[in-house]
């Protein structure tokens, strides 16, 4: 307990030293209040220029929750790395593991895209899309099973199933992107 208190005291002292002379820098999450520091005229101009207009609740709902969040992860770079790693792998076990990671990332990309699309749809359209997605998930599972059953060797069968999963998922990503382009006002 004493070590923790001492370490905590040192970290507070260190933070105080690091912030000395930085009174004009607003500190988020410090003290629960807005900074009392004076705002320079240039900082006020920048803040005014970058501040988004306040939207009503209905406008936010109409725009969609994901658009309001203004955050959409990009999985292209890790996918490219894993796909290149898959091509370079020599052992069947390592190839299966890497392919599984690739499949997982594509599925994640599809999920994020699908959720984002749902944000822009009215309730009835959401129900329709969810029903369609569930049917598609069943078709993807069947495609994986068919691909798996084409091979006697378990490693080859797993790779074939993984590739079928990825191909189906990539095709569905394209479909959802096309739908999003139709429903999202840009």
Residues 97 and 44 in one domain: no
Residue 32 has pLDDT above 90, yes or no: no
Residues 150 and 91 in one domain: yes
Average pLDDT over the chain reads: 75
Q: What is the pLDDT of residue 59?
A: 54
What pTM was estimated for this model as a whole?
0.61
The total domain count for the chain is 2
What is the rounded average pLDDT of the residues 93-115?
Answer: 92
Answer for the pair 26, 35: CB distance below 8 angstroms, yes or no.
Answer: yes
- The answer to whether position 33 is within a domain reads yes
Residues 115 and 156 in one domain: yes
Taking the C-alpha atoms of residue 43 and residue 22, their distance in angstroms, rounded to an integer, is 15
Q: Any idea which residue has 């798996």 for tokens?
A: 148
Helix, strand or coil, per DSSP, at residue 54:
coil
- The answer to whether position 62 is within a domain reads no
What is the rounded average pLDDT of the residues 122-129?
Answer: 94
Q: What is the pLDDT of residue 57?
A: 54
Residues 96 and 154 in one domain: yes
- The answer to whether position 55 is within a domain reads no
Residue 17: exposure state from Cβ atoms within 10 A (0-12, 13-18, ≥19): exposed
| Positive or negative: CA dihedral 122, 123, 125, 130 | positive
Q: What is the pLDDT of residue 92?
A: 87
Answer for the pair 110, 177: CB distance below 8 angstroms, yes or no.
Answer: no
The domain of 94 spans: 70-183
Taking the C-alpha atoms of residue 11 and residue 2, their distance in angstroms, rounded to an integer, is 14
Residues 43 and 115 in one domain: no
């Amino acid at each position: 307990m004493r070590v923790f208190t001492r370490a905590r005291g040192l970290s507070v002292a260190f933070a105080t030293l690091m912030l000395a002379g930085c009174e004009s820098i607003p500190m988020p999450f410090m003290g629960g209040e807005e900074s009392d520091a004076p705002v320079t005229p240039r900082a006020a101009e920048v803040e005014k220029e970058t501040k988004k207009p306040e939207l009503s609740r209905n406008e936010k709902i109409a725009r969609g929750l994901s658009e309001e969040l203004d955050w959409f992860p990009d999985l292209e770079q890790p996918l490219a790395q894993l796909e290149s790693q898959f091509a370079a792998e020599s052992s069947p076990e390592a190839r299966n593991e890497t392919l599984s990671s690739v499949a997982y990332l594509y599925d994640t990309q599809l999920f994020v895209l699908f959720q984002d699309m749902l944000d822009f749809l009215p309730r009835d359209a959401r129900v329709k899309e969810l029903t369609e997605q569930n049917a598609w998930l069943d078709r993807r599972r069947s495609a994986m099973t068919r691909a798996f059953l084409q091979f006697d060797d378990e490693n080859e069968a797993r790779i074939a199933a993984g590739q079928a999963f990825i191909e189906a998922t990539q095709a569905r990503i394209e479909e959802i992107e096309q739908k999003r382009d139709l429903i999202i006002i840009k």
